[in-house]
Structure 1
Amino acid sequence: MARLNRLRVYPVKGLDGIDLEAAKILRGGTVAHDREFALFDADGDVVNGKRTDRVHVLETDFDPETGVLEVETPAGETNRFDLEGDRGAAETWFSDFFDADLSLERDTSLGFVDRRGMGPSIVSTATLRTVASWFDGLTVDGARRRIRANVEVAGVEPFWEDRFVGDGAPAFEIGGVRFAGVTPCGRCVVPQRDPDTGEPIDEFRERFVRKREELFPDWADADAFDHYYTLMIITRVLEAHRGETLRVDDPVEIVAD
């Protein structure tokens, strides 16, 4: 049976994700705590993996209950910052680490997602397993950390999510919360890199595109895809279903309308 297998958010944009057992859909249509914080430089540009591979060498964890962010450096130094009470210490530390004048901003209504008018990202476990098989030494969890989806669905075939974009695509529900596919997710440089070290896989994009085209599902709408360097989809949660909660092991069902 198709079910919600993992629910993951990225509390500070560009840094590590955390797994949750349950999460609310915000009124803005995104998952609570996803990209809730982001680092910006003096020009208003965000610090993320597209901009610098330095983000990969940091290990981070976040406690949604306390608002405490834990950051571990490659040297084993651990720092804890209270993002609820005082973000100033975190701003100073990250400014020193990235050698830039940074501010740590917060948005609890939508988060600092790339696509402001859209919602959660969706991928299947089988898709991640298939992509991992394309590269020597790449594990399913390694693929998961490179792709950085919010919602992972188990009990379905590889590239199951592709059916929800394009003309006439169906919607789907997770625990009664209805999602509509909006667009395939074109990938950037981040999936090419080891999420711990930032080291790239040689010719990652070329092999990925070749395998993606070779295995593109017959039942997907090819016209909805601009190119084959895509993986996972971006969705929109119906407004009537915002404010509801997703839970791991919720059933997933395709709906016709």
Structure 2
Amino acid sequence: MTRVAELLAYPLKSCDGVAVDRAAIGPEGALRGDRTYALVEAGVDPERASVSGGGGYVNGKSEPAIHGLSAEYELAGPPDATPTAVTLSRPATERAPADERTFPLPDEGDALADWVGEYLGYAVDLVRDDAGGFPDDRAARGPTVVSRATLATIASWFEDVADATEMRRRLRPNVVLDDCPAFFEDRLFADHGEGVRVAVGDTALIGVNPCQRCVVPSRDPDTGAEIDGFRERFVRKRRETLPEWTASDRFDHDFRLMVNTVVEERSWGDVLAVGDEVTVDGVVTVDESGTPVAGADAAE
């Protein structure tokens, strides 16, 4: 019986995650507290910035030094992962000494930005969105899903990746499933115009899109050191191990892994929990945002 093994939120985008036992679905379908805060280059409008690298977000795609920061959080409390304080540690650089500091939030957001900017060598702003957060996929803001067996399999492809836990830190999912085969999550998307309804406990997620990967999984989550040839090996092994159930016109290249989801408004406020049973309820017709079309219970 497939079940939820881990729930993770990333209160400060591109920094460490935090494991929780219960997680509420917030406005716009994101886990409450996930990516609530983000760092951007000073003066950049986060709504217009690109998350794909070089577009204003200070993230792992554009700034390898961000991996050198470690973060621990004080949270609003279950099931809300919104941070009320973050403790950041940074290594020594030519620009700044090694340091650790706790920043209550939101009161010391500007101080946090100044401290990180000192480490990076350029000015940054800390921005906040309590509604949908700052996910990479702004259309499918629901929890991202992968299986533990998948993480273990991918970790085995690379000598420099210790285990499934390290691969999970590189891929940064919200929901990790257990008691299912590797690449089970590939069952959770279909063709364009379709979504897959997935029951997680009493909550329905709509699996929409296999996540297109970037440079981040190739980098050590603590140091930013990159594995040479990561993408090429990943693509080759992904192709070699591709299950027959992955067939979909959304899976248009082999550098995709994990599933982005949408949560219908009627499920905002629901709570996911470790141990919840997970069942696949079938394919539904969806609009361009991934939301099921009213009156269309199943795709033709």
What is aligned with 2:129? 107
Alignment match, 1:39:
39
Partner of 2:53: none
190-199 or 222-231, which deviates more: 222-231
Stretches of structure 1 lacking an aligned partner (at least 5 in a row): none
Higher mean C-alpha displacement, 117-126 vs 82-91: 82-91
Distance 1:215 1:93, change over 3 A: same
Moved more, 222-231 or 14-23: 222-231
Partner of 2:146: 123
**1:244 and 2:270 matched:** yes
Give the match's secondary structure for 2:246: coil
1:144 equivalent in alignment to 2:161: no
Do 1:177 and 1:244's aligned partners in 2 also have CA atoms closer than 8 Å? Answer: yes
Give yes or no for contact 1:13–1:38 (8 Å, CA) kept in 2. Answer: yes
* Unmatched runs of 5 consecutive residues or more in structure 2: 45-55, 77-82, 93-97, 283-297
Percent identity reads: 40
1:67 deviates by 0.9
CA-CA distance at 1:84 after TM superposition? 2.9
Contact 2:72 2:88 in 1 (8 A): yes
Report the Cα distance in structure 2 between the residues aligned to 1:209 and 1:181, rounded to whole angstroms. Answer: 22
Q: Which residue does 2:157 correspond to in 1?
A: 134
Q: Report whether the alignment pairs 1:221 with 2:244.
A: no
For the 8 Å contact 1:163–1:169, the answer to whether it is kept is no
- Counting matched residue pairs gives 257
Match of 2:16 in 1: 16
Code of the aligned partner of 1:70:
T
TM-score, normalised on structure 2? 0.82
CA drift at 1:237: 1.2
Task: Indicate if the aligned counterparts of 2:196 and 2:208 stay in contact, CA closer than 8 A.
Answer: no
Distance, in Å, in 2 between the alignment partners of 1:178 and 1:210 is 34
Q: Distance in 1 between matches of 2:182 and 2:15?
A: 27
